[in-house]
């Protein structure tokens, strides 16, 4: 588009045009001009970093009906369409040029055809509505970690959410001047019916890795529309692979050890496996709950939280399990609830909130009452199982003081977790970085729950809890992680955790609060303060150290029988897991590095040797006796 400057002058008011040209970036200007010409909005608002501009977006969300005020100051609710309640994996695709290949795990479409299709859906999609042009920064501003982003949307709910979740980026764009190095996102809700996207059959989320550009249309749900979240993670993983850093689906937290010591942990868990609750453990501090960038600086691995807010699943958030989050959700501060139940007192209610739910109210299905079903006869729950909250980490009592440090925080440990009923012990340290990446991270399986798929215990492979968001071939991603510490003298320790181990009676062996002890033990490990017991798969705690931690931090007695049951090494189950994961890599990941199979073979040999000596189920006390 050669005349994009003239188009911007024609379509923007003088104030908005001046805001835009104050950013001397022709690539960004052309992107916005093309979006205007394509979507044909009635007006364009260019958002700066000012509080007045953020307030305008907030008020626009109320004015358009995309959000409604609730009974506590700062709280609003947004409802997505009944069939627009989650990430659309089938319609989220990479745009690949002829000859490009990401492997069978990653969903793609031929680039030319995909661009033509999604642009046809975007054509005139903002007719009669205001286009919002917003600038944000992934990671702290003025940092080696910073990635500037421009988000175009016609949804004030999307823009409002991003003002909570991400650091402002208008001033950051001034600093990068004409640099082409930034991410671009264009989203339109499309045609609306009762204030929600109507044409769900034309919902598309297409990702152009080469152009670092994401298209999203005919959807409102945050996972499909909030460009800087998992859509940007896909762009960042690809960028990191080219540039030698890591973009990971991980929390970042400060674990507080003895004498005021803080050791920073990152951790990756599949959905519903305790990721957010771990990052929010009582007595610890949070930097982020979802996405981390890691870089090597001065011989150490340092990381930042990409975001400054939380877009969390609200189900089962209650005062007992998540006291800090629950306090925020019931206090005057800026919070967007989505797809919860609103009762007659204009109060949000959700599944597992710790109190009885009302029998009627308003939710994503409209007027709701207990027992209501949809057109297919399915029960409509009071609050959707994937209902969310959006809030700023700055508003949490446990916000870590280094959340915005441009240098990031030093990573002391990485944790990988999953929902596992019978194999992994509650906490275990990997012998070294390579085994940590391969045996703990690249071997994650997580069991489904009856609530989500109707059948409990189906094991789902999820490489480093990042499988849904990878944008490079799986083998290359594993190799990138392995190579990341080649010039690091003391890399972070890697641990596995498992909060879902069950006994012979089917009951959980871990209490909800026990994760405090597993994480605090890992912190002591990182700093060399505890002894460990060597097993075929890693290093586990001694009974003596766990007894002390349970008493000091949970005021609980930790019995010898509990220790044995929880930390017994289960040889048959571990071997079966290795075989399952080994087969996945052999059959579906043709570029798997040889070291993966070599490591599986080493661990398999250690397991069989231990089994021959001690039997199929090995008490940790047997290992201490030699």
pLDDT tens digits for range 92-114 = 999 998 777 777 778 899 999 99
Q: What is the mean pLDDT of residues 430-442?
A: 98
Q: pLDDT at position 2, please?
A: 55
* pLDDT of 449 strictly over 70: no
Specify the higher pLDDT residue, 393 or 624: 393
Q: Please provide the CATH number assigned to the domain covering 248-308+402-624.
A: 3.90.228.20
Where are the domain boundaries for CATH 2.170.8.10 in the chain? 311-395
* pLDDT of 29 strictly over 90: yes
Q: pLDDT at position 457, please?
A: 66
Q: What is the mean pLDDT of residues 516-522?
A: 97
CA gap 321, 486 in Å, rounded: 40
Q: pLDDT at position 135, please?
A: 98
Least confident segment among 157-166, 447-456, 498-507:
447-456
CA gap 114, 327 in Å, rounded: 45
Q: pLDDT at position 454, please?
A: 45
Q: Is 525 a catalytic residue?
A: no
DSSP alpha helix (H) spans, 14-110: 14-21, 26-39, 51-63
Band (451; pLDDT cuts 50, 70, 90): very low
Measured CA distances, 427 to 5, 77, 289, 541, 564 (Å): 59, 39, 20, 8, 13
Strand partners, 310: 391
Q: Please provide the CATH number assigned to the domain covering 311-395.
A: 2.170.8.10
Residues whose CB falls within 8 Å of the CB of residue 99, separated by 6 or more in sequence, listed in order: none
Where are the domain boundaries for CATH 3.40.449.10 in the chain? 4-66+85-244
CA gap 399, 405 in Å, rounded: 13
* Choice among 273, 303, 349, 525 that is catalytic: 273
CB 441 within 8 Å of CB 268: yes
Residues whose CB falls within 8 Å of the CB of residue 384, separated by 6 or more in sequence, listed in order: 85, 339, 340, 363, 364
Q: What is the mean pLDDT of residues 225-244?
A: 96
Q: What is the mean pLDDT of residues 601-624?
A: 97
CB 536 within 8 Å of CB 577: no
**Residue where the block lists tokens 């590095």:** 593
- Mind listing the pLDDT tens digit for each residue in 185-211? 999 999 999 889 999 999 999 999 999
For domain 4-66+85-244, which architecture applies?
3-Layer(aba) Sandwich (3.40)
Specify the higher pLDDT residue, 406 or 323: 406
Three-class SS state of 168: strand
Band (450; pLDDT cuts 50, 70, 90): very low
CA gap 228, 294 in Å, rounded: 17
Query: Nearest CA to 516 among 493, 547, 550?
Result: 550
Q: What is the mean pLDDT of residues 256-284?
A: 93
Q: Which helix (H) or strand (E) holds 372?
A: none
Q: pLDDT at position 4, please?
A: 82
pLDDT above 90: percentage of residues in the chain: 89
Query: Nearest CA to 224 among 131, 311, 335, 126?
Result: 311
State the average pLDDT for the chain. 94
Three-class SS state of 446: strand
Where are the domain boundaries for CATH 3.90.228.20 in the chain? 248-308+402-624
Q: What is the mean pLDDT of residues 444-468?
A: 75
Three-class SS state of 150: strand
Q: pLDDT at position 453, please?
A: 36
């Amino acid at each position: 588009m050669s005349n994009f400057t003239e188009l911007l002058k024609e379509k923007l008011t003088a104030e908005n045009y001046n805001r835009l040209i104050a950013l001397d970036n022709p690539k960004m200007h052309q992107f916005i001009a093309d979006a205007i010409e394509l979507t044909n909005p009635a007006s364009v608002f260019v958002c700066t970093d000012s509080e007045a501009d953020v307030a305008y977006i907030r008020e626009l969300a109320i004015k358009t009906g995309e959000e409604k005020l609730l009974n506590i100051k700062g709280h609003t609710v947004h409802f997505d369409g009944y069939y627009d309640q989650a990430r659309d994996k089938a319609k989220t695709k990479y745009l690949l040029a002829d000859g490009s290949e990401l492997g069978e795990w990653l969903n793609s479409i031929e680039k030319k055809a995909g661009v033509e299709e999604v642009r046809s859906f975007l054509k005139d999609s903002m007719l009669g509505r205001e286009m919002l042009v917003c600038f944000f920064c992934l990671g702290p501003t003025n940092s080696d970690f910073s990635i500037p982003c421009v988000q175009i949307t016609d949804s004030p709910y999307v823009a409002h959410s991003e003002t909570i979740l991400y650091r402002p980026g208008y001033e950051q764009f001034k600093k990068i001047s004409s640099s082409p190095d930034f991410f671009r996102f264009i989203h339109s809700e499309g045609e609306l019916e009762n204030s929600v996207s109507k044409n769900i059959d034309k919902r598309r989320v297409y990702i152009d890795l080469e152009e670092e550009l994401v298209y999203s249309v005919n959807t409102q749900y945050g996972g499909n529309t909030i460009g800087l979240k998992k859509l940007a993670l896909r762009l960042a993983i690809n960028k990191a692979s080219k540039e030698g850093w890591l973009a990971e689906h991980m929390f970042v937290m400060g674990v507080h050890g003895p004498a005021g010591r803080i050791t920073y942990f990152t951790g990756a868990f599949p959905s519903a496996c305790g990721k957010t609750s771990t990052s929010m453990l009582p007595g610890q501090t949070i930097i982020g709950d979802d996405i981390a960038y890691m870089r090597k600086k001065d011989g150490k691995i340092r990381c930042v939280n990409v975001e400054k807010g939380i877009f969390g699943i609200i189900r089962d958030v209650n005062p007992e399990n998540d006291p800090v989050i629950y306090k925020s959700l019931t206090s005057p501060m800026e919070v967007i609830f989505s797809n919860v139940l609103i009762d007659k007192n204009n109060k949000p209610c959700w599944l597992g909130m710790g109190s009885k739910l009302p029998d009627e109210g308003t939710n994503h299905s409209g007027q709701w009452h207990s027992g209501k079903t949809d057109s297919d006869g399915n029960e409509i729950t009071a609050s959707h199982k994937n209902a969310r909250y959006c809030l700023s980490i700055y508003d949490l009592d446990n916000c870590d003081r280094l959340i915005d440090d441009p240098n990031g925080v030093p990573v002391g440990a990485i944790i990988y977790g999953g929902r596992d009923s019978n194999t992994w012990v509650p906490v275990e340290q990997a012998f070294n970085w390579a085994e940590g990446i391969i045996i703990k991270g690249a071997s994650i399986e997580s069991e489904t729950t009856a609530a989500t798929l109707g059948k409990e215990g189906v094991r789902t492979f999820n490489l480093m809890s990042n499988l849904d968001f990878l944008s490079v071939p799986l083998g290359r991603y594993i190799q990138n992680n392995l190579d990341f510490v080649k010039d690091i003298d003391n890399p972070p320790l890697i641990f596995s955790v498992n909060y879902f181990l069950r006994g012979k009676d089917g009951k959980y062996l871990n209490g909800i609060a026990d994760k405090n002890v597993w994480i605090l033990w890992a912190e002591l490990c990182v700093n060399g303060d505890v002894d460990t017991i060597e097993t075929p798969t890693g290093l586990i705690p001694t009974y003596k150290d766990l007894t002390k931690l349970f008493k000091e931090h949970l005021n609980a007695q930790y019995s010898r029988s509990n220790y044995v049951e929880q930390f017994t090494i289960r040889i048959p189950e571990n071997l079966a897991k290795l075989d399952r994961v080994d087969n996945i890599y052999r059959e579906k990941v043709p570029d798997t590095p040889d070291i993966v199979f070599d490591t599986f073979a080493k661990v398999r040999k250690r397991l069989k040797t231990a089994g021959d000596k001690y039997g199929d189920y090995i008490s940790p006390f047997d290992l201490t006796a030699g």
